[in-house]
Amino acid sequence: MTTSEFDSLRPPEPTGGKRRRNGKGKGRRAVADGSREMPMVPEAEFSSYYGRPVVKPAPWGHEVAAYLFLGGVAGGSGLLAAGAQLTGRTKLRRNARLSALVAVILSAAALVKDLGRPERFVNMLRTIKLTSPMSLGSWILSSFSAGAGIAAAAEIDRMTGERLPLGPLRPVLRAVEGPAGLEAGLFAPPLAVYTAVLLGDTATPTWNAAHEDLPFVFVSSASLAASGLAMITTPVAEAGPARKLAVLGVLGDLTAMKVMERRMDPVAAEPLHHGDPGRLLRWSERLVIVGGLGALFGGRHRGAAALSGLALMTASALTRFGVFEAGKESARHPRYTIEPQRRRLAARRAAGITDDSITTAG
Amino acid sequence: MGQLTGPTDPAADAGWGDVKPRKGFFTDTSICIGCKACEVACKEWNRNPRDGDLELLGSSYDNTGALGASTWRHVAFIEQGKDRIEAARESGRALIDLGMPAVPAPSDTDTRPPDTPEFRWLMSSDVCKHCTHAGCLDVCPTGALFRTEFGTVVVQHDVCNGCGTCVAGCPFGVVERRSDGTYATSERQSDRLAHEFVTGVAQKCTLCYDRLVEDEIPACAKTCPTTSIKFGNHDELVERAKERVAELHAQGRTEARLYGANEHDGVGGIGSIFLLLDEPEVYGLPPDPRVCTADLPTMFKRAGLAAAGMFGAAAVAFWRSR
């Protein structure tokens, strides 16, 4: 609508799909979370406020995506270590315990680095909040680390020929090593799964829409990643359980991913298929299949086992980065928030439920 | 763990013994003139720094963009033509027809809308909603976010470690992690001016908690020249909002609707209610927000099942290999 001769001096109207090829406006206010970026998702059938996002993406960097992977590896390794401990597989136990320790140290470092105020990381443990997956996760991670750390310390002491300066504490370490390993095993599945709740329990459209099935994806991914690592580190004679867990993890991962995608709101699921996240997840699926087949048929060959293990670990990392980035992408565009919400509101109204809308006529 | 969904008094639910009446805003956008005095007053009182570079965003007179760590009031400007006005009026009428309080029966008096039919300018001052069930507060791991005795939600910047979970937890995109610094508000402005650098932590509207404890009203409401921003007891504001929307409907302005005045909605009602003149998404507000923690019991169950499955898979893997 032209109402003034000065209209020609205005910047272009940022509506609809016309801006798609118009690169002039994009990224003009690059703020870390992209909340001020101009719209990249065009052909809107819905209204939005100048194409700006409704929700904000979590200010989490790649460290958190890496943590999703490393936490899974740590949890899975802790579980394998406990199993090896109970079934007397000393090499698998040693390698899995060391893997768990390294993974958990890297995990914690990634988490702390991602904080806005890293020096205050201990504030995570100033309370226990049942409504906060981050709080529960911090406690799970700490509890797991305690057990995994003690168990791994005992292994390191043995490997170095009792050269750790333990003094009179050595018998104590020997005595608590077993219980500590089992304690870590007990906290291993929660460690692998809580990150799924952490993502699901947000307003980020793609993560939130996946809240029912993401836990199954994440435990499967953790299982196959840790098993893959054990297949790399451990001779085939002792890695039998790791191969089995890997195959079960592969089956779980493929199934859970499909079920999750089907049960999600179709619009909220879109970022899982498009762009970089889509590419990551497609490669992840391929590598999961390759790694699973490798573990199943070539697992008794040392080289094949190691390659399969590498494929599985890579696949798990790609899954985590894919899901992570898909969620962030979904928060950057208003469409993923508005369309599913409008649809569910309309569905409730069609079903005769009219008393629970945030918008009311009076 | 307090109540996760449904109507409740948030302060009592949070365990306050000495509950004060719930405070909130009623932002009547039908009388907002877009002067942005609220943005300025908020920045000055809370000493929030400039947000980003000074740039023209090309979105009418809105060069603020969105709520954020250093922007706790944001005035939205929307320019609409005839079609959008009619669509808004129609969607408002559909809302009225849903069996909610009916519009007074048409009378013989002239009820044609008084505004110009070809063009309108919507202006709305957005702010933190201070939800009954606040996603940001519930997912905060440190307890830095807390519920005040007034039923509002406030960040303790000296406790927050900047984990950013609240940012993703807010269904309205309000709270944000600050990446540049500012000076903190002091609780006792008169005694001393706390010059404290606040960065790397989550920040959002406090509903001027430091003013409330001194029986002052929030800076934005105090400065608003048209009383578009009203501050008061939440229950009374809801009543006033209902009266106002009925008044507008009686004038034939069926596009008027309330946002956040329903305690049965996905967040249990909000502390800062709005009178809007179009669909909420036009103003950048979510049309059907649902606090993420409402599904927490489901998520715990599914996660427990998945963890048990992982445990079981490991047991099978070792059992058969014995």
In this predicted complex, what is the ipTM?
0.91
Q: What is the mean pLDDT of residues B58-82?
A: 93
- Residue by residue, DSSP assigns B271-318 as SEEEEESS-GGGGT--SS---GGGGHHHHHHHHHHHHHHHHHHHHHHH
What would the pLDDT profile of A88-112 be if each residue is shown by its tens digit? 999 999 999 999 999 999 999 999 9
Closest approach of chain B CAs to the CA of A181, in angstroms?
15
How high is the pLDDT of residue A30?
Answer: 40
How high is the pLDDT of residue A359?
Answer: 93
Phi and psi torsions of B28, nearest 5° = -90, 100
Determine contact, residues A319/A281, Cβ cutoff 8 Å: yes
pTM of the model: 0.89
How high is the pLDDT of residue B50?
Answer: 83
Residues in CB range of A117: below 8 A, 6 or more apart: B160, B161, B162, B200, B201
Among B101, B139, B176, whose Cβ lies nearest the Cβ of A131? B139
Distance of alpha carbon A59 from the chain centroid: 15
> Cβ separation of B288 and A342 shorter than 8 Å?
yes
Q: List, as ranges, residues 116-145 from A with C-beta within 8 Å of B.
A: 116-118, 120-121, 123-124, 126-127, 129-135, 137-138
Phi-psi region of B173 (alpha: psi -120 to 50; beta: other; left: phi over 0): left
User: B115: pLDDT confidence band, cut at 50, 70 and 90?
Assistant: low
Tokens of B207: 């509903």
Q: What is the mean pLDDT of residues B285-303?
A: 96
How far apart (Å, rounded) are the C-alpha atoms in residues B152 and B154? 7
Best interface-test mutation with B: which of A49, A68, A214, A353 has the largest number of B CBs within 10 A?
A49
How high is the pLDDT of residue A29?
Answer: 40
Whole-number average pLDDT of chain B: 89
Pairing of strands B23-28, B272-276: parallel
How far apart (Å, rounded) are the C-alpha atoms in residues A252 and A266? 22
How many angstroms separate the first and last alpha carbons of chain B?
Answer: 44
pLDDT at residue B80 greater than cutoff 80: yes
How high is the pLDDT of residue A354?
Answer: 87
Residues of A in contact with B100 (CB under 8 A): 354, 360-362
Select from B84, B86, B87, B65 the least CA-distant residue to B76. B65
Q: What is the mean pLDDT of residues B225-254?
A: 94
Among B66, B173, B303, whose Cβ lies nearest the Cβ of A197? B303
How far apart (Å, rounded) are the C-alpha atoms in residues B131 and B115? 33
Q: What is the mean pLDDT of residues B131-144?
A: 95
Residues of B in contact with A33 (CB under 8 A): 167, 176
Among A25, A208, A337, whose Cβ lies nearest the Cβ of B292? A208
How big is chain A by its Cα radius of gyration, in Å? 24
Tell me which range, B83-97, B107-121, B137-151, is most confidently predicted by mean pLDDT.
B137-151
Q: Which residue has the higher pLDDT, A30 or B259?
A: B259
What would the pLDDT profile of A333-342 be if each residue is shown by its tens digit? 999 999 999 9
Determine contact, residues A69/A111, Cβ cutoff 8 Å: no
Q: How many CB pairs under 8 A join A and B?
A: 345
How high is the pLDDT of residue A42?
Answer: 45
> Cβ separation of A252 and B309 shorter than 8 Å?
yes
Among B119, B168, B177, whose Cβ lies nearest the Cβ of A116? B177
Q: List, as ranges, residues 157-196 from A with C-beta within 8 Å of B.
A: 188-190, 192-194, 196
User: B107: pLDDT confidence band, cut at 50, 70 and 90?
Assistant: low
Select from A152, A158, A292 the least CA-distant residue to A225. A292
Residues of B in contact with A218 (CB under 8 A): 306
How far apart (Å, rounded) are the C-alpha atoms in residues B268 and B257? 18
CA distances from B264 to A20, A360, B241, B289, B296 (A): 39, 11, 17, 12, 18
Averages of pLDDT over runs of 10 residues in chain A (362 residues) are 60 48 38 47 69 95 96 97 95 96 96 92 93 96 96 94 88 94 97 97 96 97 97 94 96 97 95 96 97 94 95 97 97 95 93 91 85
User: B180: pLDDT confidence band, cut at 50, 70 and 90?
Assistant: confident
Residues of A in contact with B144 (CB under 8 A): 123
How high is the pLDDT of residue B29?
Answer: 95
Closest approach of chain B CAs to the CA of A273, in angstroms?
22
Residue of chain B minimizing CA distance to A356:
B265
CB-based contact, A248 to chain B, within 8 Å: yes
How high is the pLDDT of residue A6?
Answer: 66
Residue of chain B minimizing CA distance to A220:
B310
Determine contact, residues A39/A50, Cβ cutoff 8 Å: yes
Residues of A in contact with B178 (CB under 8 A): 116
Select from B233, B265, B256 the least CA-distant residue to B26. B233
Residues of A in contact with B169 (CB under 8 A): 201-203
Among B162, B261, B289, whose Cβ lies nearest the Cβ of A116? B162
Closest approach of chain B CAs to the CA of A212, in angstroms?
6
Among B62, B164, B310, whose Cβ lies nearest the Cβ of A219? B310
Q: Nearest 10 degrees: CA dihedral of B270, B275, B277, B281? A: -10
Select from B68, B76, B21, B77 the least CA-distant residue to B205. B68
Q: List, as ranges, residues 60-99 from A with C-beta within 8 Å of B.
A: 60, 76, 79-80, 83-84, 86-87
Tokens of A98: 């060391």
> Cβ separation of A222 and B310 shorter than 8 Å?
yes
Select from B49, B7, B48, B17 the least CA-distant residue to B208. B48
